[in-house]
Structure 1
Amino acid sequence: MPKVKKRSTLPYTRIKQGKLYVVIPYRVGDRWKQKARLARDQAHALQVMAELRDELGRHGPSAFAGDRMLFHELLAEYRRAHPGTPDWYWRPMLEYFRERQIRSITYADLKQFRSQRAATPKRFSGEARKAATVNRELEHLRAVLLYAMRHGWVRYNPFAAGPPLITKGEEEQRSRVPTPEEEERFLAQCVPPRAHLRPLVIATRDTGLRRSALLALTWEMVDFEGQLIRIPKGNLYKRRPAVIGCTDRLLGELRRLWEASEQDPAARVFGEVKGWKRSYATACRLAGIEGLRFNDWRHGFATDLMEANVPRHLAMKLSGHTQEATHEIYANIDDRLAIQAAAALDRLHASRTTRSAEPEPATGLVN
């Protein structure tokens, strides 16, 4: 008796080797293609059909590239779109997920990856890996998966499928802030061949911007007449106000850099600063300063705002902090308030200079 071939009665479906598939035709240029996806039954087939049409409508044919995309292919796409990140951020996730299909990565996989990285000692020193280091790696992995989600290559972000995996509360909180005396000693060492450190340190101390954000600044963002730095939108400047006021000393450093430059508005303010880590370590050693990271100068910005009596909600906005959300609603940084904050810092700097110049009171004691 001849074998009867089973046919599906549901449109856009077919049965192959006893399994039900949803088949959606789509067009790429002048050619028609088909996308097939397995379904458990007819009810599930209707759901799959809706998902395929939604993916096709939102992301076009490129959405179907994610079905067979491997993690190392996704990472290559991401790195082409975001060049410049150090390899040590990518190496651990690439070694762990290299041949995995990106749509098969689950929350449990991410949790296991975090546990493995936390248990892996540092490569050269053999010391235990800090929670902050693991969090940075997870943040970059999350960025890669979000990139895939934006392109429709994955349907959801596995990081969102459970409790937060990136826990800032586990990180060791640094309270190191450079004192005015340390600042004076450090800047005294910012002479050739370390002169490039002076404007960079003053800029991060008086604006609170990260080193990466400062190195990305261009001259068209600097308003000499208004004494402002106009901040663009983007990840480097996330949660920052649109403008930051320049203190007198920062404005003087910027003017010197501008006069010594080719005066191209599109050029970077701090040029191509290279070898800064070695120069920074040398300056700290010569100044007799220990345990002071470059990022600690940013912490000094928030401390200086507090000492200068800048209102707390305004200081939080200037620092890019997001706590005390109620105050955030009322803190809108415009040109006037940015200049007011810079003027308060100028008064603080002037008061420090005055205090250091005053003679010590006589004690009445005779040696």
Structure 2
Amino acid sequence: MEEKRIEKHLYERKYQTATGEWSRSFYVRLKDWKGVRRVWPAGDALKTARAKRAEYEHRNALREDFDKSKVQGMTFAKWGDIYLERYASKKRSHAEDARHVAALGLFFGTMTLSQVTRAHVEAFKQSRKERLSYKGTLVSDAYCNRELATLRHMLKLALEEGLVETIPLVRLHKEEGGRERTLSPEEYQRLLADSPVHLQRIITCAYETGMRAGEIRNLTWEKIDLKMGFLRLAAIDTKANEKRAIPISPALRAILDDIKKEQREAKVAPIGGHVFTWGGRAMSEGWKRAFHTACQKAGLDGFRFHDLRHTFVTMKVRQGFDYKRIMSITGHKTFAVFQRYNNPSEEDLKEVVAGTPPLMLQKGSR
């Protein structure tokens, strides 16, 4: 999602729908006479948005109490519904956000927002250790942290909208170190051999670029610069909301040439201009099941698609490339996060001391 200021108090959001199409909406944002930051939706037409802005500016000049019409003692459950509709409906992670809000609602649902305290937050964290996730497994600290991050965001927005005067501190669990699962060249070849062609191409793209699954799935031809040899992602395409230029390797170039030839011979342009398609449409979530099946066939139980990103980072560090260039390709903003993706093997560690000459110890004087 991309946001930009159009005029004073008027902003535009651009976002990509599930079908790959681009859409936009406007909203009015200003600090009212109470000093509270306000945000109001203003439709998808600029003329209408300007009229809405003028209306809210006039009402603010008259010192209208914008909180007067709000339901007194807003419950957490009600705010959860508003949060999903107003702030999460356009996000790619909407389904995951909905699961988080549902889990939070089981604990906080009947409370008013002003009743939520730090003690309640800690009690929720403890209760999650006794409940199962939507997959039927025990909730890990890492997964609970995703729910706590949603809780923190919900409370912060409630504060900004004037629904509460203060909000409690939400501390996350301390998570264990990063995963250590990466693919060896032999495992990579086995995985490709046990994958159908359309999945081979996606796996190769991840292995050769370190791109995230969503970035690959939403990759369109307009983002591919074959002449200069780069995939050019706009800020709206990336998790960090920063544009990236990703070099195209020879292996990936061969795949892109094959796909382009196939799409040209089919004489049917893929919907949305997507590179990786199935039946002319953008890849659905079904490819994840195909990836899981391929991993089982290749004897790679527990290997996740995101681990290909770990593999790329580890492989490039092992090849001697500097951190700055690798981070520029992967989009890691901090060295601390980048280090979690670099997983040296025991063989890598042994190489560090393998070339150290033996030290001749001298006898000490008596």
TM-score if structure 2 supplies the norm length? 0.62
Q: What pairs up with 1:73-88 in 2 under 5 angstroms? A: 73-80=78-85, 81-83=87-89, 84-86=94-96, 87-88=98-99
| 1:149 CA drift (Å) | 4.3
| 1:244 CA drift (Å) | 1.7
Contact 1:239–1:320 (8 Å) recurs in 2: no
Q: Which has the larger radius of gyration?
A: 1
Contact 2:235–2:243 (8 Å) recurs in 1: no
Cα 1:58/1:130, change in 2 over 3 Å? closer
Match of 1:70 among 75, 100, 123: 75
Contact 1:122–1:129 (8 Å) recurs in 2: yes
Q: Distance in 2 between matches of 1:311 and 1:227?
A: 20
Identity of aligned residues (%): 25
Q: Distance in 2 between matches of 1:235 and 1:223?
A: 16
Q: Which residue pairs with 1:55 in the alignment?
A: 36
Q: Which residue pairs with 1:355 in the alignment?
A: none
Q: Which amino acid letter does the alignment assign opposite residue 219 of structure 1?
A: W
Q: Distance in 1 between matches of 2:232 and 2:201?
A: 18
Q: Which residue pairs with 1:96 in the alignment?
A: 107
Q: Which residue pairs with 1:282 in the alignment?
A: 293
Helix, strand or coil at the partner of 2:246: strand
Q: What pairs up with 1:259-298 in 2 under 5 angstroms? A: 259-261=261-263, 262-263=268-269, 266-270=272-276, 271-298=282-309
Q: Which residue pairs with 2:228 in the alignment?
A: 226
* Residues 204-245 of structure 1 deviation map (CA, whole Å, 9 limit, x = unaligned): 222222213322333322222222222222484217553222
* Residues 230-279 of structure 1 deviation map (CA, whole Å, 9 limit, x = unaligned): 22224842175532222222233234334445446943433132322331
Contact 1:62–1:152 (8 Å) recurs in 2: no
* Higher fraction of helix: 1
| 1:62 CA drift (Å) | 5.1
Cα 1:301/1:137, change in 2 over 3 Å? same
| 1:99 CA drift (Å) | 2.6
* Residues 135-174 of structure 1 deviation map (CA, whole Å, 9 limit, x = unaligned): 122122233334444544445553xx3xx6224x433531
Contact 2:207–2:308 (8 Å) recurs in 1: yes
CA-atom RMSD in angstroms: 3.3
| 1:178 CA drift (Å) | 0.8
Q: Distance in 2 between matches of 1:247 and 1:137?
A: 38
Q: Distance in 1 between matches of 2:39 and 2:102?
A: 32
Helix, strand or coil at the partner of 2:292: helix
Q: Distance in 1 between matches of 2:72 and 2:236?
A: 30
Cα 1:238/1:187, change in 2 over 3 Å? same
Q: Does 1:129 align with 2:133?
A: no
| 1:187 CA drift (Å) | 0.9
The worse-fitting range, judged by mean Cα deviation, of 297-306 and 143-152 is: 143-152
Helix, strand or coil at the partner of 1:54: coil
TM-score if structure 1 supplies the norm length? 0.62
| 1:112 CA drift (Å) | 1.9
Q: Which amino acid letter does the alignment assign opposite residue 267 of structure 1?
A: G
Q: What pairs up with 1:134-213 in 2 under 5 angstroms? A: 134-155=144-165, 157-158=167-168, 161=169, 165-167=171-173, 169-171=174-176, 173-191=178-196, 195-213=197-215
Q: Distance in 1 between matches of 2:39 and 2:241?
A: 29
Cα 1:186/1:138, change in 2 over 3 Å? same
Cα 1:108/1:258, change in 2 over 3 Å? farther
Q: Does 1:252 align with 2:258?
A: no
Helix, strand or coil at the partner of 2:34: helix
| 1:109 CA drift (Å) | 2.2
Q: Which residue pairs with 2:52 in the alignment?
A: none
Q: Does 1:119 align with 2:130?
A: yes
Contact 1:240–1:317 (8 Å) recurs in 2: no
